[in-house]
């Protein structure tokens, strides 16, 4: 017994080192569970507040770019106004409203919520974006996030009362289901951890007809993003020698360097779909 | 100014500079300079080793919370704060310099070269361990080596510049301790 105490006393610092290292690595590996437990509450709010203060200054210097983006967005929306379309027969009346039903009785599925980017990073290997909008302002977990020009930015992983953390496409765990505009082949968009604004598209067969400059869309297969939001354009096509797939490099539509305003997309039918899938899973398991 | 207040201010300033200035630098999509761990390099000599490691953990963890990625910097900081006393023991030349001076600096280490070696080794270890933990996730060996070497060089350059601009006045205390 005495020897054990002597041992502990002699190597006390080394043991402290080991404990702290193991704890750090535990945090890295079990990132998600820890993240939910502690980060949502305290750390998120604290770092969020500091980031908001910094962003007040940073925002001022990017006003010009932000303005350009918003003007572009406005132009696109203005072109969709009903006054711009003339129909010879006005039997149906178009009402643009934000109620969940339109005049045809269709259920609203997607809702866009604007949010201010409070902090953003592109230099790390796992990048996150913080939004200055949280549960108190109707943001929820697992919603998709796009920039004003309809380019996919990421997915909300964590929400606190006034802030939300978005896992950007530039993250090792980021996986977005994607589709080619020409041909409609589906694949997955991931990031290789090197160059921001350059993504990789995997799982595209060599039989697919692709060319440089082709557009890659969201597939609409997931509950996070609607169909047809731009992810990027094909920049480089590398045939993978060991498999039957291409390795495709994309130039991302969203410019991750100067995000200031983004839109979160809420899916009103998400619960229904997830419940169905859960039931189906239960049935097959039994 | 008391040592405690000085170190608290230093802590906050270094974290803010790291988060809002240096983290935005990304040379050739690869190299990000680090300077926040200068706090660990400048910790007082007489601080207990366990306390050093715990403070280093807090420092790393603070930076990690700004990056929403807990663990990476905390691990690297704890490792260099563990190695720090050994290096000081080897490098410090004159008898009892660590009780005559308050904290490591070119003057208290007895010249610029020993101090540079001290900073260089710790910077290298910090970067190597940090990028190694990151590389485990992405797995790209050569990228990791080049990134470590280049980042170490850039960070060391920054440390030298900081050392030249903000030269800390080290009082020679009486050796009655």
Is B138's CB within 8 Å of A172's CB?
A: yes
Q: How many CB atoms lie within 10 A of CB A157?
A: 21
Q: Is A124 on the interface with B (CB under 8 A)?
A: yes
pLDDT tens digits for range A14-73 = 999 999 999 988 888 877 665 555 555 677 788 888 888 888 888 888 888 888 888 888
ipTM of this predicted complex?
A: 0.85
C-alpha dihedral over B53, B56, B58, B64, to 10 degrees? Answer: -130
Is A25's CB within 8 Å of B133's CB?
A: yes
Tell me what pLDDT residue A155 has.
92
Q: Is B11 on the interface with A (CB under 8 A)?
A: no
Q: Is A284 on the interface with B (CB under 8 A)?
A: no
> How many CB pairs below 8 Å do chains A and B form together?
98
Give me the residue from A16, A24, A125 closest to B138, CB to CB: A125
Q: Is B144 on the interface with A (CB under 8 A)?
A: no
Tell me what pLDDT residue A34 has.
56
**Chain A 234-273, residues with CB within 8 Å of chain B CB atoms:** none
Q: Is A92 on the interface with B (CB under 8 A)?
A: no
A36-61: string of b/e by CB count within 10 Å (b at 16+)? Answer: eeebbeebbeebbebbbeebeebbee
List A107's β-bridge partners, or say none.
A101
Is B24's CB within 8 Å of A123's CB?
A: yes
Residue A90 has pLDDT above 70, yes or no: no
Closest C-alpha among A230, A204, A207 to residue A217: A230
pLDDT tens digits for range A103-134 = 565 677 788 888 889 888 888 888 889 998 88
Is B30's CB within 8 Å of A194's CB?
A: yes
Q: Is A59 on the interface with B (CB under 8 A)?
A: no
Is B138's CB within 8 Å of A16's CB?
A: no
Closest C-alpha among A213, A153, A159, A223 to residue A189: A153
DSSP chain A: -HHHHHHHHHTHHHHHHHHHHHHHHHHHHTHHHHIIIIIIIIIHHHHHHHHHHHHHHHHHHTHHHHHHHHHHHHHHHHTT-GGG---S---S------SSB-TT-PBP-EEEEEEEEEEE-SSSSS-EEEES--GGGT--TT-EEE-TTSBEEEEEEEE-SS-EEEEESSSTT--EEEEETTT--EEEEE--SS-TTEEEEEEEETTS---TT-EEEE-S-SSSS-TT-EEEEEEEEEE-SSSSEEEEEEEESS-GGG--EEEEEEETTHHHHHHHHHHHHHHHH-
pLDDT tens digits for range B31-50 = 889 999 999 999 988 888 89
Residue B153 has pLDDT above 90, yes or no: yes
User: With contacts defined as CB-CB under 8 Å, which chain B residues touch A125?
Assistant: 134, 137-138
What residue in B sits closest to A28 (Cα-Cα)?
B71
Q: Is B32 on the interface with A (CB under 8 A)?
A: yes
What residue in B sits closest to A168 (Cα-Cα)?
B68
Tell me what pLDDT residue A241 has.
82
**Chain A 156-175, residues with CB within 8 Å of chain B CB atoms:** 158, 165, 172
Q: Is B74 on the interface with A (CB under 8 A)?
A: yes
**Residue with more model confidence, A193 or B93:** A193
């Amino acid at each position: 017994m005495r020897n054990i105490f002597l041992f502990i006393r002699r190597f006390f610092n080394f043991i402290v080192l080991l404990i702290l290292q193991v704890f750090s690595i535990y945090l890295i590996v079990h990132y998600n569970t820890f993240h939910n437990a502690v980060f949502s509450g305290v750390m998120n709010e604290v770092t969020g507040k500091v980031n908001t203060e910094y962003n007040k200054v940073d925002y001022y210097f990017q006003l010009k770019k932000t303005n350009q983006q918003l003007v572009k967005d406005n132009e696109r929306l203005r072109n969709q106004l009903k006054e711009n379309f003339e129909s010879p027969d006005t039997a149906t009346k178009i009402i643009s409203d934000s109620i969940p039903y339109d005049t045809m009785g269709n259920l609203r599925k997607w809702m866009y919520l604007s949010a201010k980017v409070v902090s953003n990073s592109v230099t790390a290997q796992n990048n996150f974006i913080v939004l200055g909008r949280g549960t108190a302002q109707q943001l929820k977990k697992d919603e998709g996030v796009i920039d004003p020009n309809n380019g996919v930015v990421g997915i909300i992983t964590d929400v606190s009362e006034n802030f939300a953390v978005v896992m950007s496409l530039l993250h090792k765990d980021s996986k977005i289901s994607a589709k080619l505009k020409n041909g409609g082949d589906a694949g997955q968009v991931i990031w290789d951890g090197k160059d921001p604004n350059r993504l990789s598209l995997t799982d595209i067969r060599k039989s697919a007809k692709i060319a440089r400059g082709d557009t890659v869309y969201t597939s609409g297969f997931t509950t996070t993003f609607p169909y047809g939001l731009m992810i990027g354009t094909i920049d480089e096509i590398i045939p993978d020698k060991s498999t039957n797939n291409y390795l495709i490099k994309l130039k991302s539509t969203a410019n991750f360097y100067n995000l200031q305003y983004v839109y979160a997309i809420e899916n009103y039918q998400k619960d229904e779909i997830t419940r169905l899938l859960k039931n189906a899973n239960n049935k097959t398991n039994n | 100014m008391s040592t405690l207040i000085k170190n608290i201010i230093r802590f906050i300033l270094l974290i803010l500079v790291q988060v809002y200035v240096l983290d935005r630098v990304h040379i050739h999509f690869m190299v990000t300079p680090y300077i926040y761990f200068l706090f660990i390099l400048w910790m007082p000599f007489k601080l207990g080793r366990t306390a050093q490691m715990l403070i280093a953990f807090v420092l790393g963890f603070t930076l990690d919370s700004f990056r929403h990625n807990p663990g990476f910097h905390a691990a690297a900081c704890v490792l260099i704060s563990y190695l720090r006393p050994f290096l000081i023991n080897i490098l410090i030349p004159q008898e009892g310099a660590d009780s005559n001076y308050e904290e490591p600096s070119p003057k208290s280490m007895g010249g610029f070269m020993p101090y540079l070696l001290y900073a260089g080794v710790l910077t290298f270890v910090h970067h190597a361990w940090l990028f190694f933990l990151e590389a485990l996730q992405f797995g790209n060996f050569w990228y990791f080596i080049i990134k470590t070497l280049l980042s170490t060089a850039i960070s060391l350059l920054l440390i030298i510049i900081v050392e030249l601009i903000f030269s800390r006045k080290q009082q020679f205390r009486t050796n009655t301790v």
